[in-house]
Structure 1
Amino acid sequence: MSRFSVTYRLRAADRAEALARAEGIALEQTVEIPRAVVPAGYVADEILGRVEDLSPLGPDLWQAMISYSPDSAGAELTQLLNVVFGNSSIQQGIRVTGIDLGDIVAARHPGPRFGIEGLRRLTGATGGMIAPVLKPMGLPPEDFARLAAGCVRGGADIVKEDHGLAGQPTAPFRARVEAVARAVSEENARSGRRALFFPNLSGRPEEIEDNLRFAKEAGAGGILVMPGLFGFGLVERIARDSALDLPVMTHPAFLGPYVLAPDTGFDHGVLFGTIQRLAGADISVFPNVGGRFGFTVAECAQIATACRSADGPGLPMLPSPGGGMSVERAADMQAMYGKDVVFLLGGSLLKDPSRIDMAVAAMRNALDKAQTGG
């Protein structure tokens, strides 16, 4: 268990080609030199990737399991991901379908700070959670604050900013965060609820640390991060910060190309489940089946399983499907995902912003009824 392993699906005409491709990956992801010139001893025996298993999956498809030394990854998450699928991601016909960290690497990356149970303690929620999304860009801070207050009145567990809200002139990050956090706190106090506000982290690289501290001090209950743009290393940095002590929700913006082509990238569960947990996310947002992005039932189920599996990295986390949610689909979605889930509620809530509390309450009631079988 000292080595960690990655499972790849390869396109190859026969076993000989599949083995050559697997051995090529083992070289490319570690020493990146021809096998004939790999130094004997420690480099050849420990650092060089090892093809541990090769088996057929179907016509022209093979599965290869390759193990790597923890020394090749070191303690950095970015280097670990580089070993998993660095240069080989630029080649066609290679897809990552599984990652097994092993004991040593797993200990280096503890994963989510809160996980499912931690978020239940914070929110008081016992069943499926709902998270209305504040949008669209172009509104002033006070409008977002009014929407947020209505969401809390309606029964939201989490009030999440849209990933497109950043530092626009109509609602700069700090002014918006301050206004919305205050509105959520005041409405929580009035209603006795414990809704959490997750602002979308934004700013230039040199501003990120200060913006994180500002969000915490302003009263944010969590933080939304786009690892496709900011990097998974930032997710881990936030998750490990005991002074911030904020749950992290990750958004899939910019990550689509990693999963959409069947012969390259990552399986959906690996990217939106395993890797998000490895980085320390407590909630992983992904496109829901029936929404406008076209993920299938099987792909969404794979993600949800990877998020919640007991043998994944660190604590189990909450899958958060977004898109295609409606009162009419509430029962079906509850049956599909169960109680350990955060349902994102988006544009359908904004038909009448002044009555967003009623729209959220209708969804809350539909999900509660589906959970209890009423």
Structure 2
Amino acid sequence: MTSRFVVHYRIFASSRDEAAERAAGIALEQTVEIPRDVVPRGYIEDEIVGRIESLAEEDEGRHLARISYSPDSVGAELPQLLNVMFGNSSIQKGIKVVGLDLGATLAERFPGARFGVDGVRRRAGRPAGGLIAPVIKPQGSDADTLAGIAYRCALAGADVVKDDHGLTDQAMAPFRTRCEKVASAVARANRETGGSCLYFPNLAGRSDDLMDFAGFARDCGAGGVLVIPGLFGFDLIRRLAADETFDLPIMAHPSFLGSSVLSDTFGFTHGMMFGVLQRLAGADISIFPNVGGRFGFSAAECLDIAGACRDPAGVGRRIFPSPGGGMSVERAGDMKQMYGDDVVFLLGGSLLRYGDRIGEAITAMRSALRAANGRAQSEPAD
């Protein structure tokens, strides 16, 4: 006996009757995609068609529908699970996905992250506290320049050094050349410091090259990979996370996904897109735009993401939220207070202002996080 999974939809409608009609339409649209009066009786009607489990008014003009679906509609395919959740309905206005109860059957089929918070900490040699992840950039730099930046960051105690998501397989720094040189530079810094900094190259280029690139990254000593599911699909993350021969943590970048969350009345909530779906695919670290930066996410939206990443009741292992785009050494203390310890702090363009002294910024960031931790421990409990 399989257990059905439940998707929570926020439906914008002027009355309960309209909301009920829209919910019934979602249940059909996401499964059989035919009029209700021609649904075949028996297995299809009883099992396949979506069921409205509940419908309640949240606020004026907003209703919450919980619709369950059969795992038989999904099989073991992540793209089809996403398709059943919000395929055709994503093309309609006034519907927003706000929650997912995976159920026991699909929880076995989609175990989530291979490493999660604890596994990444072990690989990075950082058992407690926030992780620091500088980004090597800009696009147009050659591989030696990028390797030099990575070396100085790793030497200063960075936990993760990652490619900028705009570094793909361009002629200026081709993937294999860049990956080899940066991985070697980070390994040299680790030998000199005794550290465990991890290099995450951006797994990008033509889609038919990606699995070969992943194997190359592993073989030349990368500590993980960066993947852009908005461009290459969530199933690439699932495929890598399930591959026991690959066995590296995966960091997911939000590029091309913004339009899925920016509307108040359709798409996904921030926590669903950058928390739940990333965990479902198997990402270990989920990058998202930080509050106060140039992308306009609010504090509440960022905390929604962080909560979805780290919810013990979520899909599989807890994963790291990774705020970026507006992170700086100066904001480290406030961000530590906001996000706590289980977080990867992404440092991007602001680091380049330090030039050859970029390592000083990493050291200052670590000191600021430690100072913030000390303040937190000394504050009296409520």
TM-score relative to the length of structure 1 = 0.99
2:134 aligned with 1:132: yes
Q: In structure 1, which of residues 217, 220, 229 is the aligned counterpart of residue 219 of structure 2?
A: 217
Match of 1:246 in 2: 248
What 5-or-longer segments of structure 1 have no aligned partner? none
1:372 corresponds to 2:374: yes
Partner in structure 2 of residue 16 of structure 1: 17
- Cα distance, 1:187 vs. partner? 0.4
Aligned to 2:143: 141
Runs of 4+ off more than 2 Å: none
Tell me the alpha carbon deviations over residues 307-326 of structure 1, each in whole angstroms, 9 at most, x when there is no partner. Answer: 00000000000000002222
Q: Deviations over 1:36-82 (max 9, x none)?
A: 00000000000000001000111111110000000011110000000
Q: 2:101 is matched with which residue?
A: 100
Deviations along 1:242-299, whole A, 9 cap, x unmatched?
1010100000000000000111110000010001000000000000000100000000
- The one-letter amino acid paired with 1:320 is S
For residues 129-184 of structure 1, the C-alpha deviation after alignment (integer angstroms, 9 at most, x for no partner) is 01000000111111111100110122100001100001111111110000000000
Q: In the alignment, is residue 306 of structure 1 matched against residue 308 of structure 2?
A: yes
> Letter of the aligned partner of 1:371 in structure 2?
N
C-alpha distance in structure 1 between counterparts of 2:360 and 2:322, whole Å: 22
The total of aligned residue pairs comes to 374
Whether 1:31 and 2:32 are equivalent positions in the alignment is: yes
- Are 1:48 and 2:60 counterparts? no
Quick one: percent identity of the two aligned structures?
Answer: 59
Decide whether the 8 Å contact of 2:275 with 2:286 is kept in 1. yes
What amino acid is the match of 1:340?
D
Cα contact 2:329–2:361 (8 A) shared by 1: no
1:70 maps to: 71
Residue type at the aligned position of 1:79:
Q
What letter corresponds to residue 218 of structure 1 in structure 2? C
Distance 1:50 1:147 in 2: 54
CA–CA distance in structure 1, aligned partners of residues 238 and 216 of structure 2: 19
| 1:353 Cα deviation after fit | 2.2
Tell me by how many angstroms 1:328 deviates.
Answer: 2.2
Provide the aligned C-alpha RMSD in A: 0.9
Q: Is the 8 A contact 2:131 2:159 kept in 1?
A: yes
Deviation at 1:9, TM superposition (A): 0.5
Distance 2:354 2:342 in 1: 29
The CA distance in 2 between the partners of 1:353 and 1:80, in whole Å, is: 46
d(CA) in 2 for partners of 1:331, 1:203:
37
The answer for the alignment partner of 1:156 in structure 2 is 158
Instruction: Choose the corresponding residue for 2:167, options 165, 168, 171.
Output: 165
Which residue pairs with 1:179 in the alignment? 181
Alignment partners' CA distance in 2, 1:352 and 1:279: 36
User: Which residue of 2 is the match for residue 86 of structure 1?
Assistant: 87
Alignment-derived partner of residue 5 in structure 1: 6
Q: CA deviation at 1:91?
A: 0.4
Cα distance, 1:327 vs structure 2: 2.4
Q: What is the alpha-carbon distance in structure 2 between the residues aligned to residue 52 and residue 145 of structure 1?
A: 54
Distance 1:163 1:205 in 2: 15
Which of 265, 282, 285 aligns to 1:283? It is 285
Partner of residue 362 from structure 1, selected from 349, 361, 364: 364
Q: Displacement of 1:372 after TM fit?
A: 2.4
Question: Does structure 2 retain, via aligned residues, the 8 Å contact 1:122–1:194?
Answer: yes
| Structure 2 CA distance for aligned equivalents of residues 169 and 286 of structure 1 | 28
Matched residue type, 1:173: F
